[in-house]
Amino acid sequence: VALHIVCQREREITAFVPITYWSVWTEYAEGFTAFYAGSSEIEPVLDDNDVTDDAAEVNAESTVESKRVLSEAEAARIIQVARNHPHIVCEATGVTAQKSPLPPFITSSLQQAASVRLGLSPEETMKVAQELFEGVDLPQGRKGLITYHRTDSTSLAPEFCAEVKEWLSKHDPDNVPKKTTRHREQANAQSAHEAIRPTYLSITPKTVRDHLSAKQHQLYELIWRRAVASQCANALIQKSRVIIQA
């Protein structure tokens, strides 16, 4: 059976014929981009389950709802029409969707986020995280600032979740969730340790800025903010689709 699947896949690869196509779009001064869709009859697609990951860079070509134009001449014709005719909004639709907060960091997601946001290599991230875990000298004594940083679990201690909820009620009441936010575990997660989080929520990034190196502070702030954000209420996002005819 396995050999049959391999052979079938190989035949599909061999039979594949690459197609050259052109994507056509218009950039408006108002700050948005409209992609050629061929017809105003296309149904809008509004996905309520969009996920944004710190490690992902959005690829415009893979997310646009653009009809493929199969020749350069046709692309040039469409562009000429768009340049010589007024652009009229013929339909606008929108929907409010909920977006769950991202889970607290595990080892891999911390490394990815630190690479994208802070420019740290995975090795540098683990080195700095180890320093934060082992402890730094503060006015109140030597304190370990984060939980163990080698983990694949997104779970958080109930006591910490309650502490975050109390902190939010004082500092950001609009983001207090109705119930404790739980994040789905990976299928093969060992769960020997909880997610990476600050050991003391009261030790905010601002209060320890003068006692940490630049990299330590940046990574601690990243961990602290992500842990708190993971327990916030769902975000409400307005999604809009506008069909413009030229």
Q: How far apart are CA 22 and CA 87, in angstroms?
A: 21
Domain extent listing, the chain: 2-97, 107-229
Question: Phi/psi at 141 (nearest 5 deg)?
Answer: 115, 180
CATH class belonging to 107-229: mainly alpha
3-state SS of the chain: helix, strand, coil percent to 5? 35, 15, 45
Per-residue pLDDT of the chain (246 residues; tens, 9 = 90+): 678 888 888 988 888 888 888 888 888 888 888 888 874 443 434 444 443 444 443 344 444 445 778 888 988 988 988 889 899 888 888 889 889 999 999 999 999 999 999 999 999 999 999 999 999 999 989 999 999 999 999 999 999 999 999 999 999 999 998 887 777 766 666 666 899 999 999 999 999 999 999 999 999 999 999 999 999 999 988 888 888 888
- Are 70 and 19 in contact by the 8 Å Cβ rule? The answer is yes
Q: How many CB atoms lie within 10 A of CB 31?
A: 6
Active-site hit among 28, 148, 200, 220: 148
Q: What is the pTM of this model?
A: 0.65
Angstrom distances, CA of residue 45 to CA of 42, 209, 235: 9, 45, 20
**β-strand partners of 26:** 34
Q: Is 148 a catalytic residue?
A: yes
> Under a CB-based contact definition with an 8 Å cutoff, are residues 109 and 182 in contact?
no
Kindly give, in sequence order, each residue whose CB lies less than 8 Å from that of residue 143, ignoring residues fewer than 6 positions away. 135, 136, 199, 200, 203
